[in-house]
Structure 1
Amino acid sequence: MLLSHSPPWALPTLTALIGSGGFIIGIYSFISPVKAAQVYGVDLPLLAKGNQASKEKTGSADPALFRPDDISRHVAYIYAHGVRNFVTGFTILSLTGFWQFSAQCKKSVIASSTAQRSLGIVILAGALTPVVDAVVTWQAAEERTATDVGKKAARAHASRSLIWIAGGLWCLFG
């Protein structure tokens, strides 16, 4: 099997990269929430323009879209995404650190194997997040013909989910 011939640093590096990605995006959501929304696949300025266009066509604004003066409400939602990503990334980094550096895992093959498999479960469960993110951003992009941001982000989320699934399975069965 290909995975059994991989260098011993490969799997811990992959899990650390997966965790670091979530951790960094979580922090970025707090530092620059509007840009983080764009990275996620939602172009907030475009939504504001869409709300204006909706108002011009129908005489009333679509309540699902925000007004530029109401950005703080939407930034709060981005902060929630940031917390989700930060916590998931921190959890994966913590489990990776425990697995690689704790005295228990260094002394006991059973403890090391248990930590590795626990990490696999967390990563596999966490892989649902980029899958759902891909679906949500793709659907949002389909509803708005003027944006390509969501489609690009949906593809990035889908690619990320494949990496997470591969890493989780590798932890469980590698």
Structure 2
Amino acid sequence: MKILHYLGLIGLLLATGGCSSVRVVKTEPAPNFTLTNYRTFAFSDIESTGDIPQSGFYRSQIDALKKSIESELVRKGLRRVDTQPDLMMNIGIAVDEKTQTRETNIRTDPPFYIGQRRYSWRSQEVPVGQYRQGTVDVHLVDPKRNEMVWQGVVEGILPKKPEKLQKVINEGMAKLFDHL
């Protein structure tokens, strides 16, 4: 009986471990790209405009993203330098406010009535929540050839708490760079 209990617990852990809010959208290496041909990297300057990028919270998250990328590249055998890197790292970030909806159903929800004399019944989208979806686009550029040699895109749901956000950033970069 205990064996069944433990097997059920292991199955539950595996099922919940597979549910992630982060997914790799695409990875695209250049022809003949091999990471072992490079030893060092550096980050390109990140330019931003508007109100949000000027906030301290935004800057701290950019630093957290760079730190996560750096740890993944160090794990792959590269090291960060300030001058004359073999690879330049370019990062693009987009955060979109999204609305989660559900559709009313004539069978289970009361239908929506439209019109005075022209009767029609419709199902409609009902907003049920707001969330933020973040997308990170990472480009590895060979500065000697001035050519992009690898591109990866990852996206996920961004939690509101900063400590959970750091976990999502680390998870996303680990998944992305596993494809490198």
Question: When the two structures are superposed, what TM-score results if normalisation uses the length of structure 1?
Answer: 0.26
More strand by share: 2
- Say which one has the larger Rg: 2
More helix by share: 1
Question: When the two structures are superposed, what TM-score results if normalisation uses the length of structure 2?
Answer: 0.26
